[in-house]
A and B are shown apart, each in its own frame.
Chain A
Amino acid sequence: MTAPAVRAENVVKHFGDVKALDGVSLTFEPGMIYGLLGPNGAGKTTLIRVLTTLLRPDSGSAEVAGVDVLANPTGARRRLGLAGQSAAVDEFLTGYENLEMVGRLYGLGRAEAKRRANDVLERLTLSDASARQVKTYSGGMRRRLDLGASMVGRPDVLFLDEPTTGIDPASRIDIWGLITDLVASGTTILMTTQYLEEVDQLATRIGVIDHGVMIAEGTSDDLKNQIGGAIIELMVRAGNRERVMETLRSSTSQEPTYDPVRDLITLPAPGGTADLFCVVRALDAIDITPLAIDVHKPTLDDAFLALTADQEVPA
């Protein structure tokens, strides 16, 4: 019997008239990366702040690694690590001093704090820069160091609020590598991001939050399937269009539509590739070769846009 890594129930937080969180519930098991998606102002950061004891919710309950964050914030802090949106490292300390300080504040002895700081610096490939003041670091190095500071205490659950926002693509790949390494070594991660490919690549489960409400939850595939299956798109010569539409209708029992803007015929393909073969055979039978044909699977972008569009509320 193990406790969930995070369990939040019906968390409500208002700032004046603004409902930042309007009854969010979220539970997931240890050992995974949970990706929290949402547009700006959706409530992602507020939820992270509640879970990391920075903010008391108006109502609801929350646990991290089985510890109630409201009743026992200190206990919860021993189990969690936080890397916020800004790189919260001290410019005038060296990389090593920053990590050693955080280690000491987690209650580690001098020797252990030193050992862990050096370990983490090595993992971050920052060993060469460890004796330099952070003000000389690049943006990507600062973010890596900030992530490192949240790792020094070896937390059970690591909260990363937009860990790759505002850094160059190479540094982003580095941070992705670190995140996957951490999970492989047993850390559970809750991360927020605005980059869909990021959660698509990294996250085991995804939650979509908008206007303070969790509007969808599941694996990446779950979310994609929620907006329907694949679509076949094909392009043919204008003279053949009517015959092709007729053939598609009779051979697949789906209704094709013509998109004059892109000059494409689109056809729902719940069977995916199998439907594509069916279409190819039918067209071959009437001796027409399409100029282009493609099975288009819905992306997470499609899913995200469809999900958040439903929620659009006039400001």
Chain B
Amino acid sequence: MTTATLPEAAISGDAHRISLIAGLRDTSVIVRRNMVRNVRLPQLLIFATIQPVLFLLLFNYVFGGSIGLSLGGAYGGKYINYLLPGMLVQTAMFSSMQTAIGLTEDLGNGVIDRFRSLPIARSAVLAGRTSADMVRTLFVVSLLTIVGYIVGFRTADGLPKLAIGLIFCVLFGFALSWVMAFVGLAVKTPEAANSAAFLPLFPLMFASSIFVPVDTLPSWMQGFAENQPVTVLADTMRGYVLGQEFLSTSPRSLTTLSLFSMFWIVVILVIAVPLAVRKYRRTVA
């Protein structure tokens, strides 16, 4: 038997940590991998798009009549103008669930174990996943905006402001993706991830200004509804796409709304990122 020897020099010159540059490179490799999956598994994109489009059409045509009436002459009397900005935020929220489901799939088939055995930054796998999901969210909300235009939505202040609104929306989805990364790693199976992810999203979604103005909600709910992130984000969107017509009825100015939105996005990230990375380091399939 011949005995091979290990290169001694290689052993001594060891970097314990991954440099920032290397970490970013690892992340970009994983972003690319996840984006390729999005393109090659078109069902993901199709269903991610069909569902919000259906929601938008159903809500607009089913509730549009009665709610539109109660909106009075505001928003050109068109519920779609009120609804679409909120639906964009809702879509970003649902889109973040895919982060949880995708991670549980990677856990189940051993891909996470492989990644964890490679000399890459601890955050790279999660950052790669959440970033790729952010790109997907951007695609879906853009498409939904186009559908909104087709059924009568119009911005008040032009495309640049609409773009800023969409950026807020997508960043909010990105922050929620990190929450969902934690959820996915904690529950470990796609089925459980699906139910677990809905739990926090549903009350936030309905006790918000997505579908109806907050002042139509029961008074005990209003304090929560006005300040919770979904309302703040939805109102910020409206501030950017509906302009003065919305802001004149809003207790907050566009600047306040934007800062409040950024506050929520940062708070969610500051809590969720370390939790998710910690969970990742300890999760074995």
Chain A interface (Cβ < 8 Å from any Cβ of B): 1-3, 5, 29-32, 49, 52-56, 65-67, 72, 74-75, 77-82, 84-93, 97, 101-102, 104-107, 133, 149, 153, 156, 186-188, 204
Contacts and interface: CB of A to CB of B under 8 A. Distances in A.
A31 B4 contact: yes
B37 interface: yes
A-B complex: 9 closest residue pairs judged by Cβ atoms: A88-B110, A31-B4, A77-B119, A86-B110, A75-B14, A82-B117, A88-B114, A186-B4, A92-B40
A31 B1 CA distance: 9
A101 to B, nearest CB: 6
Interface residues of B, number: 38
A210 B16 CA distance: 34
B5 to A, nearest CB: 5
Interface string B2-33: 11111110010011111000100110011011
B113 A105 contact: no
B156 to A, nearest CB: 42
B11 A66 contact: yes
B118 A92 contact: no
Contacts of B32: 101
Interface of B: 1-8, 11, 14-18, 22, 25-26, 29-30, 32-33, 36-37, 40-41, 109-111, 113-120, 282, 284
Given A3-B6, A92-B36, A74 B119 contact: yes
A190 to B, nearest CB: 13
B4 A188 contact: yes
A67 B29 CA distance: 27
A94 B116 CA distance: 21
Contacts of B40: 92, 133
B44 to A, nearest CB: 10
Contacts of B30: 105
11 contacts: A3-B6, A3-B8, A30-B5, A31-B4, A54-B113, A67-B11, A79-B11, A86-B110, A89-B111, A102-B114, A107-B22
Given A78-B119, A107-B119, A30 B113 contact: no
Given A102-B114, A106-B118, 17 more contacts: A1-B8, A3-B8, A30-B6, A31-B4, A31-B5, A54-B113, A67-B11, A75-B119, A82-B114, A88-B114, A101-B32, A102-B118, A104-B29, A105-B30, A105-B119, A156-B6, A186-B4
Nearest to B109: A86
A268 B31 CA distance: 66
A86 B8 CA distance: 33
Given A65-B6, A104-B29, A105-B120, A84 B115 contact: no
A3 B284 contact: no
Nearest to A80: B117
B201 to A, nearest CB: 27
A190 B235 CA distance: 59
Contacts of A56: 282
A31 B18 CA distance: 29
A186 B5 CA distance: 8
Contacts of A31: 1-5
Contacts of A92: 36-37, 40-41
Contacts of B15: 74-75
B3 A29 contact: yes
A79 B156 CA distance: 59
Contacts of B113: 54, 82, 84, 88
A19 B8 CA distance: 36
A221 to B, nearest CB: 14
B110 A85 contact: yes
